């Protein structure tokens, strides 16, 4: 039996309908563990793994490794970025899953991709046809709007070959819009403006997915693709009642087209070595247009953008034995984006920095790592990645620069007991350049105006130290406490930039800083409280950051970083009634953005969702949700200064408290085949 077969398949000491614990710290959950709530797909199973928080990754970053989530399928990341990980897992039927592995710290033969914890979905080698048909709709209680949805999927295969097809079409309602009061007051407390905001947003998406897998050249070859069309429209009326009766109107639309093709080839060379190559190509076209009208003022903003990403990645894994394994690889990428921006104020064109540019990035990375388990209780992973990239821009901003980064990593895990594990890591992380920062953006309805683009950005970097303590209890319970400290360099935040059109804010590297995080994740089975098949899951993260404000020079927190975020989920499975019910609670949060002449606080109130799902048959489910039970809203408070905040006085405070009502969601889902 090969080393990699052992890594993928071995599990011992299976606990009754619970979990299988392996000596390397991996915890395996067989289908019997999830039986009480009758999961339909892999995503529903992942959401029930104790002590695990799903991370879908980020499809808007450069590179393949940097965009990965924290779930693998048969030890591999899906060769996709646009087709997000959650959608992929929802298309994987639970009947096709042999087990779910929770990998804590590291494991031989597994690329942790910088994650402390991963879930690995192990599929069965099954054939036959499987299909799914789902229809759903959302209903806005306050105004009667509906948002219908449809999803069709089919898959099958035999003799090592498999195929998948999917089609989805959905309308959606923007729950960040709504109605509410707006008031503007002077520094002395006098009312300057009083008005009422009525806003409404929504859109739709059509998505087609497909994949084909087949034996090839002694290995396995898989190709997958996705094509999507998406549009979004927003309208806001701001009816002013004081000091005069007037009206502001803001309308914008955003639409995009995207296509992606990915391919993966893997092959074993002998019992200990495996080679893998991944190819990915993604292209996108988007248009954004906004018109803002107020008494005596009309502003028109538009941006057209095209972008592309090409990735090639090769990895060789070698298992020296069951205690020691190695991995080496190389990755290359070519990214580009070109944009054209128009900004017209009262009929006069305004010049924006970096309005019309083409940015290109060519990047290469070599990497290697070793994973060593000197004893069954200890796992040590050491690795090094070295990256070189060349960034050029043409058009309004002509520049060229070459960047080099080395990214060492050391991770150690110690299983003190079968239920207690301590994990630590030290790593240098290099952030991913977001091409959206290279182009301008607007927010006229809130008064924030235009933020210019900046193609001359360096990735932010950080030395990260992390400690985590995991304690398992009561069979299905888990508590994970994590502390992280970041020593930051080249922090990307907002800074003022001058142009012929005036002073604008722009994304910029504002210097060094620090960030600290303390996170708690708990899975609490409630059987000891008399509720069989019920559990409470929760996670919370406290954050504290410190950087120097580029306008004032004084210390402040990082823009957009929430000091506190939390969520909780209660579920109660009722197998005798073939049903489950529960509640999702997403806690209130606050984030602050700093610009050269204003500070904006955004506060979202606590969001509650109630749900019930009935599965009269294993292949049929009916789900209903009452969304936003608390009718929570979004509050936006701007403190605006007469000029740069270091020299100008506070001019006024503008406060908007927008409320969105309740929604009802109903879905009927039918599966076919095995």
Residues near 512 by Cβ (< 8 Å), separated by ≥ 6? 487, 488, 489, 490, 491, 547
pLDDT of residue 40: 80
- The tokens describing 242, both together, are 């004081």
Task: Provide mean pLDDT across the span 3-12.
Answer: 35
**Separation between Cα atoms, residue 604 and residue 606, nearest integer Å:** 7
Give, for 591, the enclosing helix (H) or strand (E).
strand 589-595
DSSP letter for each residue of 16-67:
TTS-EE-TTS-EEE-GGGGGGG---BHHHHHTTSTT-------TTSSSSGGG
Backbone dihedral angles phi then psi of residue 559, each to the nearest 5 degrees: -60, 135
**Separation between Cα atoms, residue 84 and residue 228, nearest integer Å:** 12
pLDDT in tens, 397-427: 888 999 999 999 999 999 998 889 999 999 9
C-alpha 561, offset from chain centre: 15
pLDDT of residue 6: 36
pLDDT of residue 108: 63
Give the residues across from 4 on adjacent strands.
none
Contact 550, 520 (CB under 8 A): no
Residues near 196 by Cβ (< 8 Å), separated by ≥ 6? 179, 180, 181, 182, 238, 239, 241
Backbone dihedral angles phi then psi of residue 177, each to the nearest 5 degrees: -105, 170
Q: Which of 12-16, 19-23, 41-45, 527-531 has the lowest mean pLDDT?
A: 12-16
Contact 416, 471 (CB under 8 A): no
Spans of all domains in the chain: 3-450+463-673
Which of 16-30, 100-114, 567-581 shows the highest mean pLDDT?
Answer: 567-581
**Separation between Cα atoms, residue 540 and residue 562, nearest integer Å:** 11
pLDDT of residue 442: 65
**Separation between Cα atoms, residue 150 and residue 142, nearest integer Å:** 24
pLDDT over 50 (residue 472)? yes
Task: Provide mean pLDDT across the span 77-100.
Answer: 79
Give the residues across from 568 on adjacent strands.
538, 585
pLDDT of residue 367: 95
Residues near 49 by Cβ (< 8 Å), separated by ≥ 6? 29, 100, 102, 119
pLDDT in tens, 323-348: 899 999 999 999 999 989 888 989 99
In words, the CATH class of domain 3-450+463-673 is: mainly beta
Place of tokens 């929570």: 632
Strand 117-123, strand 71-73: pairing: parallel
pLDDT of residue 456: 83
Contact 118, 25 (CB under 8 A): no
pLDDT in tens, 179-226: 999 999 999 999 999 999 999 999 999 999 999 999 999 999 999 999
Strands annotated E in 376-512: 378-395, 399-417, 420-430, 441-443, 449-451, 461-473, 477-489, 492-499, 502-509
**Backbone region of residue 115 per phi and psi (left: phi > 0; alpha: psi in -120 to 50; beta: other values):** beta
pLDDT over 70 (residue 656)? yes
**Considering the entire predicted model, what is its pTM?**
0.87
Contact 518, 563 (CB under 8 A): no
């Amino acid at each position: 039996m090969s080393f990699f077969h052992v890594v993928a398949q071995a599990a011992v000491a299976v606990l009754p309908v619970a979990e299988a614990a392996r000596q390397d710290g991996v915890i395996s959950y067989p289908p019997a563990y999830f039986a009480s709530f009758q999961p339909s797909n892999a995503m529903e199973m992942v959401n029930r793994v104790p002590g695990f928080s799903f991370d879908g990754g980020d499809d808007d970053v450069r590179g393949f490794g940097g965009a990965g989530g924290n779930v693998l399928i048969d030890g591999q990341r899906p060769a996709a970025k646009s087709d997000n990980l959650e959608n992929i897992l929802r298309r994987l039927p639970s009947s096709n899953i042999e087990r779910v592995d929770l990998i804590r710290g590291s494991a031989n033969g597994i690329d942790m991709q910088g994650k402390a914890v991963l879930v690995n979905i192990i599929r069965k080698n099954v054939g036959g046809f499987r299909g799914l048909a789902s229809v759903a709709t959302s209903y806005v209680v306050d105004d009667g709007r509906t948002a219908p949805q449809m999803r069709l999927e089919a898959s099958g295969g035999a003799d090592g070959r498999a195929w998948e097809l999917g089609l989805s079409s959905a309308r959606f309602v923007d729950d960040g819009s709504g109605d509410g009061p707006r008031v503007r007051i002077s520094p002395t407390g006098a009312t300057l403006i009083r008005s009422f905001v009525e806003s409404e947003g929504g859109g739709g998406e059509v998505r087609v997915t497909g994949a084909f897998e087949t034996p090839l050249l002694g290995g396995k070859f898989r190709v997958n693709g996705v094509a999507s069309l998406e549009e979004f429209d927003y309208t806001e009326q701001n009816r002013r009642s004081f000091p005069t009766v007037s009206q502001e109107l803001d309308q914008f639309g955003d639409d995009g087209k995207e296509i992606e093709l990915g391919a993966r080839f893997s092959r074993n060379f002998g019992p200990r070595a495996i080679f893998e190559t991944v190819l990915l190509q993604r292209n996108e076209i988007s248009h954004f247009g906004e018109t803002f009208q107020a008494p005596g003022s009309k502003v028109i903003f538009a941006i057209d953008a095209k972008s592309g990403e090409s990735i090639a990645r090769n990895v060789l894994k070698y298992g020296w034995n069951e205690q020691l394994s190695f991995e080496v690889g190389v990755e290359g990428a070519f990214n580009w984006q070109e944009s054209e921006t128009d900004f017209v104020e009262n009929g006069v064109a305004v010049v924006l920095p970096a309005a019309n540019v083409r940015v290109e990035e060519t990047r290469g990375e070599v990497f290697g790592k070793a994973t060593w388990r000197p004893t069954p209780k200890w796992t040590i992973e050491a690795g090094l990645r070295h990256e070189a990239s060349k960034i050029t821009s043409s058009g309004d901003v002509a520049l060229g620069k070459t960047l080099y980064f080395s990214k060492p990593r050391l991770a150690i895990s110690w299983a003190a007991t079968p239920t207690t594990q301590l994990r630590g890591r030290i790593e240098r992380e290099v952030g991913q350049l977001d091409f959206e920062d290279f182009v301008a953006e607007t927010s006229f309805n809130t008064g924030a105006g235009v933020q210019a683009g900046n193609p001359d950005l360096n990735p932010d970097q950080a030395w990260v130290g992390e400690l985590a303590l995991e304690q398992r209890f009561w069979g299905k319970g888990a508590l994970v406490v994590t502390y992280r400290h970041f020593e930051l360099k080249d922090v990307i935040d907002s800074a003022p930039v001058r142009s012929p059109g005036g002073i604008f804010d722009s994304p910029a590297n504002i210097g060094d800083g620090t960030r600290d995080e303390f996170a708690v994740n708990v899975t609490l089975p409630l059987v000891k409280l008399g509720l069989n098949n019920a559990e409470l899951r929760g996670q919370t993260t406290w954050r504290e950051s410190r950087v120097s404000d580029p306008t004032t020079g004084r210390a402040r927190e990082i823009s957009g970083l929430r000091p506190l975020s939390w969520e909780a989920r209660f579920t109660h499975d009722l197998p005798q009634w073939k049903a489950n019910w529960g509640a999702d609670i997403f806690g209130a949060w606050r984030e602050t953005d700093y610009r050269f002449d204003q500070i904006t606080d955004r506060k979202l109130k606590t969001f509650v969702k109630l749900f019930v799902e009935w599965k009269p048959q294993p292949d049929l489910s009916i789900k209903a949700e009452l969304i936003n039970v608390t009718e929570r809203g979004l509050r936006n408070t701007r403190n605006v200064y007469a000029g740069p905040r270091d020299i100008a006085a506070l001019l006024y405070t503008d406060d908007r408290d927008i409320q969105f009502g309740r929604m009802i969601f109903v879905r009927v889902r039918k599966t076919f085949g095995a």
